Amino acid sequence: MKEKVFIETYGCQMNVYDTELVKSILTKHKFSIVDKEEQAEIVMLNTCSVRDNANRKIYNRVHEIKKQNQNALIGVLGCMATNFKKDLLDNTKLKIDFIAGPDSYKQLPTLIEDLRETNEKTYDINLSEFETYSDVYPVREKGVNAWIAVMRGCNNFCTFCVVPYTRGRERSRDPLNVVEEVKRLVSEGYKQVTLLGQNVNSYKFEDFDFADLIKMVSDVEGVERIRYTSPHPKDYPTKLLKVMAERDNVCKQLHMPLQAGNDRVLHKMNRTYTKQEFLDLIAHAREIIPNVKISTDIIVGFPTETQEEFEDTVEVMNKVKFDQAFIFKYSERPNTRAAQKFPDDVSEPDKTKRIVECVELQKEHSLESNQSEIGKTHMLLIEEEFSKKNPELAVGRTDCNKVVSFLRNNNKVGDLVPVKITQASPHGLRGLL
């Protein structure tokens, strides 16, 4: 009998992709994937370890599952597995049966078999220098976009980040293997691919760099759109920007995680660039790719950040006017360099004051950016036939990643349609077919 497995995914796109890999690995062995927890004999939680409340959420979830489904085996996957192995396995209150780190998913069938045979908890959290799962074809959700992890791990060691410890060193897939996957995805009806990596633009396989990979993927017939995430500002050579400018099916949007605007704080974060270098890169990118839309990540209240130093972040926001920004309060992550070395000394009220200021400012900039689209016609790739908010509307995305809702016609998910922008808000656009 095939054991029934229910998988719950937390955190980043890489975890969403990893869950698709795990489904593929398990279905190849004697497991079937169910979409209801109560039907499952095995429940797997694919976890994130980036934010403080991520852990608490998982501990509560384990208790809930055990209450509802006492006989189910519980497995913890993802970054918490590598970051909190001891807590997860030794904590007797937490009834976790097995754990597997991001490089150990091919071991899952064996971990479960051993657990069944010995009734002992099992785990594998070894980090690999080679594992890229290039021989595993993920079991994906149907849709417009397919995520493809082209590299894994990160060598940057930003002091606030746990990823280099939970996902190991960088390694990239053979570009020919990636191109084969893209061709298969096109044949399955996907219109867009998003290339994934913790530090995607440091992709390197033999002599091939990220610009080469983008070109090869862009040459695949039938790929309407190519996006990628998550990049690091230190890996944006002119070659990459030029390929983005030259290729119509490469989306004209850049994610440039700034994190902070002050050089002393950037140094303490180990971000390897200065405020001026970041601003120069933005100017260079806008020169090579006119109309490129730029989003960013910002952390406020990093240890020892003063009010004056925070104002450097605000200054960069005003100089760049990002189209979109993901803004977070610093939260100390166990086992990161910052947690070991720097006291979390910026008070909660100061963190709150700073995040509110950034969010309000970004709202103004996003509105300004969206208002500049009014009157323009954009090709939209339709992602939702019926908007969740209003079923009369369909939802699509512009090349530069702006979300537009418009009165639905007979459009289907995956259609590319020209829509004239008529209204703007900080969070999105309205248009007319």
- Segment lying near ligand SF4 (by CB under 6 A), choices 17-25, 122-130, 153-161, 366-374: 153-161
Beta bridge partners of 73: 42
Q: How far is the CB of 363 from ligand SF4 (least distance, A)?
A: 25
Q: How far is the CB of 119 from ligand SF4 (least distance, A)?
A: 37
Q: How far is the CB of 155 from ligand SF4 (least distance, A)?
A: 8
- Segment lying near ligand SF4 (by CB under 6 A), choices 155-163, 242-250, 309-317, 394-402: 155-163
Q: Is 199 in the site for ligand SF4 (CB under 6 A)?
A: yes
Residue whose CB is less far from ligand SF4, 138 or 164: 164
Contacts of 371 (CB under 8 A, 6+ apart): 424
User: Residue 243 has which token pair?
Assistant: 């390929």
324/402 Cα distance (integer angstroms): 9
User: Residue 299 has which token pair?
Assistant: 């952390």
Q: Is 337 in the site for ligand SF4 (CB under 6 A)?
A: no
Whats the size of the chain, residue-wise? 433
- Segment lying near ligand SF4 (by CB under 6 A), choices 124-132, 149-157, 310-318, 407-415: 149-157
Q: Is 233 in the site for ligand SF4 (CB under 6 A)?
A: no
Q: Which amino acid is at 263?
A: D
Q: Which residue has the tokens 């944006």?
A: 236
Q: How far is the CB of 304 from ligand SF4 (least distance, A)?
A: 19
Q: How far is the CB of 257 from ligand SF4 (least distance, A)?
A: 7
Q: Is 54 in the site for ligand SF4 (CB under 6 A)?
A: no
Residue whose CB is less far from ligand SF4, 51 or 353: 51
Strands (E), 206-322: 208-209, 225-229, 253-255, 293-300
Contacts of 252 (CB under 8 A, 6+ apart): 244, 245, 289, 291, 292, 293, 399, 400
User: Residue 194 has which token pair?
Assistant: 């998003």
Give the per-residue contact string, 156-175, with ligand SF4 (x = CB under 6 A; - = no).
xxx--x-xx-----------
144/160 Cα distance (integer angstroms): 34
* The only residue of 83, 198, 296, 398 in contact with ligand SF4, by rule CB under 6 A: 198
Cβ distance 233 to 281 under 8 Å?
Answer: yes
Q: Is 268 in the site for ligand SF4 (CB under 6 A)?
A: no
Q: Is 102 in the site for ligand SF4 (CB under 6 A)?
A: no
384/411 Cα distance (integer angstroms): 10
Interface with ligand SF4 (CB under 6 A)? 154, 156-158, 161, 163-164, 198-199, 232
